[in-house]
């Protein structure tokens, strides 16, 4: 049992290390360009959403994009209204990683590790070196998932573990577990990744996978709120908007949980369960943006009243 837990922890650490390293490496490579894109293409809510989606997909971290946005707002380079569109886009961009995780690419991770390592060792070019690092970190990320996937297999014979995971079949409890796990490990991608793995191995059903995914959306707000400490009112409002949007999306998601679950089941009749969880993540976040993009002026007025400049 101890060996299984240590293997799961090792896989999780590798995954989290790869996520943070990927984000840092890509930010160093295109960080300034990302800021330029954010500043240049955010004149309307729609362009802000598109920019937030693309930059988040490139950086592989919604938290990184929202924190960059908060910094730009704090520096008065972006307005709070512009930042709202980017935050909504970041919520769509983060679903790309769950689609990749569901592709079952873990078994090919050694190939990426080898290619990345060779590029880092052989090349003296900084650009090729950074490319090698990105490939290597993707290899580490997939290997971490592969390690966790193999480690959980023997737990099917552990009744306590199986009974605990059955609690996720209650949408409220499942969402709470997803939020707490994300709050602890500071990565919604890792939480959704674990939900996909557990669903694939038969530990949790589609209900549990979707519930955990919904909860992860709340837990991911913690690090962006920390970025607003000692910031301007506009920066604080940006962090609060991220929290408010996620809370509203989660509330609507839990109210209409059964119809949403039925929709995902009907769409995924011929799909493996891990694909259905990843698809649910994408549809949930896109639907949340489509529902609340029209309420941007209202939410802006609400936050202006809650956090006035003086």
CA–CA distance, 248 with 232 (Å, rounded to integer) = 24
SS3 123: coil
The gap between the terminal CA atoms of the chain, to the nearest Å, is 57
**Angle CA(225)–CA(228)–CA(229) in degrees, nearest 5?**
105
CA–CA distance, 224 with 62 (Å, rounded to integer) = 9
CA–CA distance, 225 with 33 (Å, rounded to integer) = 24
pLDDT of residue 56: 85
**Angle CA(70)–CA(250)–CA(27) in degrees, nearest 5?**
30
pLDDT of residue 208: 93
pLDDT of residue 104: 72
* Cβ atoms of residues 202 and 276 within 8 Å: no
pLDDT of residue 189: 82
For residue 278, count CB atoms less than 10 angstroms from its CB and return exposed for 0-12, middle for 13-18, buried for 19 or more: buried
| pTM confidence score | 0.84
Q: Where are the domains of the chain?
A: 2-306
Q: Which of 81, 76, 71, 73 is nearest to 43 (CA)?
A: 81
- The tens-digit pLDDT sequence of the chain (310 residues) is 677 778 888 888 888 888 778 767 766 766 566 667 777 777 778 888 998 898 888 777 787 788 888 888 887 878 888 889 999 999 999 898 888 888 877 778 888 899 989 988 888 787 888 888 888 988 888 888 888 878 877 776 677 777 778 888 899 999 999 998 888 877 788 888 888 988 988 888 999 999 999 999 888 787 778 778 777 888 889 889 999 999 999 999 999 999 999 999 999 888 899 999 999 999 999 999 999 888 888 988 888 888 787 6
For residue 294, count CB atoms less than 10 angstroms from its CB and return exposed for 0-12, middle for 13-18, buried for 19 or more: exposed
DSSP per-residue letters across 175-206 = HHHHHHHHHHHT-HHHHHHHHHHHHHTTSS-H
Q: Which of 225, 243, 229, 223 is nearest to 299 (CA)?
A: 243
* Cβ atoms of residues 138 and 144 within 8 Å: no
If one counts every other C-beta atom within 10 angstroms of the C-beta of residue 156, the result is 12
pLDDT of residue 276: 94
pLDDT of residue 34: 65
pLDDT of residue 27: 66
For the record, the structure tokens of 241 come out as 């908007």
Distances (CA, A) of 121 to 79, 125, 244, 274: 44, 11, 46, 36
């Amino acid at each position: 049992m101890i060996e299984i837990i240590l293997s799961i922890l090792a896989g999780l650490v590798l995954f989290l290390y790869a996520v943070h390293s990927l984000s840092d490496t890509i930010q160093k490579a295109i960080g300034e360009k990302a800021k330029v894109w954010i500043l240049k293409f955010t004149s309307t809510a729609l362009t802000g959403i598109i920019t937030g989606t693309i930059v988040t997909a490139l950086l592989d971290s919604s938290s990184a994009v929202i924190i960059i946005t908060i910094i730009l707002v704090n520096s008065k380079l972006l307005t709070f209204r512009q930042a709202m569109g980017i935050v909504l886009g970041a919520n769509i961009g983060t679903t790309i990683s769950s689609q990749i995780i569901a592709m079952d690419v873990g078994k090919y991770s050694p190939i990426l590790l080898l290619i990345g390592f060779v590029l880092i060792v052989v090349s003296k070019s900084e650009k090729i070196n950074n490319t090698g690092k990105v490939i290597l970190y993707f290899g580490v990320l997939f290997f971490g998932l592969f390690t966790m996937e193999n480690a959980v297999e023997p737990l099917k014979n552990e009744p306590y573990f199986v009974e605990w995971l059955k609690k996720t079949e209650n949408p409220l409890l499942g969402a709470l577990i997803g939020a707490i796990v994300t709050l602890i490990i500071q990565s919604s991608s890792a939480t959704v990744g674990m939900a996909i793995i557990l669903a694939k191995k038969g530990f949790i059903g589609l209900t549990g996978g979707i519930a955990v995914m919904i909860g992860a959306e709340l837990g991911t707000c913690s690090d962006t709120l920390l970025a607003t400490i000692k910031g301007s009112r506009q920066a604080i409002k940006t962090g609060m908007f991220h929290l408010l949007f996620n809370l509203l999306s989660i509330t609507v998601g839990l109210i209409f949980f059964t119809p949403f679950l039925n929709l995902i089941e009907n769409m995924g009749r011929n799909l493996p369960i891990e694909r259905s969880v990843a698809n649910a993540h994408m549809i949930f976040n896109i639907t949340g943006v489509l529902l609340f993009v029209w309420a941007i002026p209202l939410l802006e007025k609400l936050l202006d009243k809650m956090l006035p400049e003086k």
